Amino acid sequence: MGIVFTRLFSSVFGNREARILVLGLDNAGKTTILYRLQMGEVVSTIPSGFPAPDSLIFFLPFAIGFNVETVQYNNIKFQVWDLGAFAYWLLAFNWQEDELKGAVVLVYANKQDLPGALDDAAITESLELHKIKSRQWAIFKTSAIKGEGLFEGLDWLSNALKSKSS
Ligand SMILES: Nc1nc2c(ncn2[C@@H]2O[C@H](COP(=O)(O)OP(=O)(O)OP(=O)(O)O)[C@@H](O)[C@H]2O)c(=O)[nH]1
Ligand SMILES: [Mg+2]
């Protein structure tokens, strides 16, 4: 189980800053997706000033042995946090957590090119997405290998964030 915690500075979001929390099983394709989105070279680094102190307290018990990567592409700067098994705990119990208040949820259902890939209904059930009442969410079927569905998901995310703030 992996978790990716990112901060995004991007014209995609109208020059606003958005923090993005990305969750994914081991081997789900998170790193492949980052490369597919052409974020450029992945460089291991220690981030400064992030997460905010309240977030740090929230994450500290789970942050032992985590990896941090910074990915840069033009004016986009991702800080990528891999915090291990915390992701499942967050998914299973904490959709309503204050830290995530106001967040929108984008699900990349990756590896759709493989036989047996889950459909929307199965994904909704397994991630208990139907329990999410207070935020926008959407599932996008993707193949990071083929480069399918990724930007459609980002477009949705961009619009969801814009409509939330307007
Ligand atoms: N067939 C197929 N394979 C994929 C796809 N996306 C990723 N993979 C493969 O799945 C494997 C794992 O991909 P990663 O991007 O390393 O997965 P990850 O989520 O970063 O994995 P961890 O960092 O270990 O949690 C690699 O061999 C990828 O080539 C996809 O859409 N289709
Ligand atoms: Mg990875």
Structural tokens at position 82 = 């891999």
For position 81, which CATH number holds? 3.40.50.300
Encoding tokens for residue 151? 């930007």
In the predicted model, what is the mean pLDDT of residues 22-37?
71
Which residue segment(s) compose the domain that 108 sits in? 2-165
Q: What is the mean pLDDT of residues 19-31?
A: 67
Query: For ligand 1, which residues put their CB under 6 angstroms from it?
Result: 2, 24, 26-32, 110-111, 113-114, 143-145
Q: How far apart are the first and last CA of the chain?
A: 35
Q: Give the Å distance between the CA of 30 and the centre of ligand 2.
A: 5
Is 75 annotated to bind ligand? no
C-alpha distances out from residue 22 to 39, 49, 57, 116, Å: 15, 19, 19, 23
> Confidence band (pLDDT; 50, 70, 90) for 113?
very high
Instruction: Examine the pLDDT at 14 and tell me if it is beyond 50.
Output: no
Instruction: Quote the ipTM score.
Output: 0.98
| Sign of the dihedral through C-alpha 140, 58, 11, 37 | negative
Per the structure, the count of domains in the chain is 1
C-alpha dihedral, 113 to 116 to 121 to 122, nearest 10°: -130
